[in-house]
């Protein structure tokens, strides 16, 4: 099994849709929660962004506006499935991060304690060539 690092200081397994994630306007890459909160400040309910998780054991986090404040949810990865709570079988899980995000864009699918991701916050800067190249390399590497 190979382990490809997207951010050099994190240890992760391969992400099956890293190329698609990198292409998403709402994916901001490496960012801490405080920067995410600054960007989301005064935005409407449902505004969200996807970022690399600062926690080594998680791949990504979603920062979003709900209940008049900025909240954060880690995306968990377990048995090739992505969810906001991998230990609860009742919580929605998807085969890719982008499918997980798509599911939570529909307000009818969102429970009161789950992220509501209806308004993507587009990033303002393009990714570096190195970041884009990593995403392409991962997309051409087998994911077993």
| pLDDT tens for each residue of 110-127 | 887 788 899 999 998 887
Question: Encoding tokens for residue 132?
Answer: 């884009």
For β-strands 27-30 and 47-52, DSSP reports them as parallel
**Least confident among 14-23, 61-70, 92-101, 109-118:** 14-23
Per-residue pLDDT, 80: 84
Topology of 26-124 in CATH? SHC Adaptor Protein (3.30.505)
For the cut 60, the answer to whether the pLDDT of residue 38 exceeds it is yes
Mean pLDDT, rounded, for 44-54: 94
Domain spans in the chain, listed from the N-terminal domain onward: 26-124
Spatial distance between the Cα atoms of 14 and 20, rounded to a whole number of angstroms: 13
Where residue 14 falls among pLDDT bands split at 50, 70, 90?
A: low
8 Å CB contact between 12 and 135 = no
The Cβ of residue 93 has, within 10 Å, a number of other Cβ atoms equal to 20
Question: Encoding tokens for residue 59?
Answer: 């791949």
């Amino acid at each position: 099994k190979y382990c490809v690092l997207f951010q050099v200081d994190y240890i992760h397994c391969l992400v099956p849709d890293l190329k698609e994630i990198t292409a998403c306007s709402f994916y901001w890459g490496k960012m801490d929660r405080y920067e995410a909160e600054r960007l989301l400040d005064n935005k409407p309910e449902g505004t969200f962004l996807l970022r690399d998780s600062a926690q080594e054991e998680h791949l990504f986090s979603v920062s979003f506006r709900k209940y008049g404040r900025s909240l954060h949810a880690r995306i968990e990865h377990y048995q090739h499935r992505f969810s906001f709570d991998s230990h609860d079988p009742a919580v929605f899980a998807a085969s890719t991060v982008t499918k997980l995000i798509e599911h939570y864009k529909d307000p009818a699918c969102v429970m009161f304690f789950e992220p509501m991701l209806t308004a993507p916050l587009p990033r303002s800067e393009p990714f570096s060539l190195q970041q884009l190249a990593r995403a392409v390399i991962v997309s051409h590497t087998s994911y077993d």
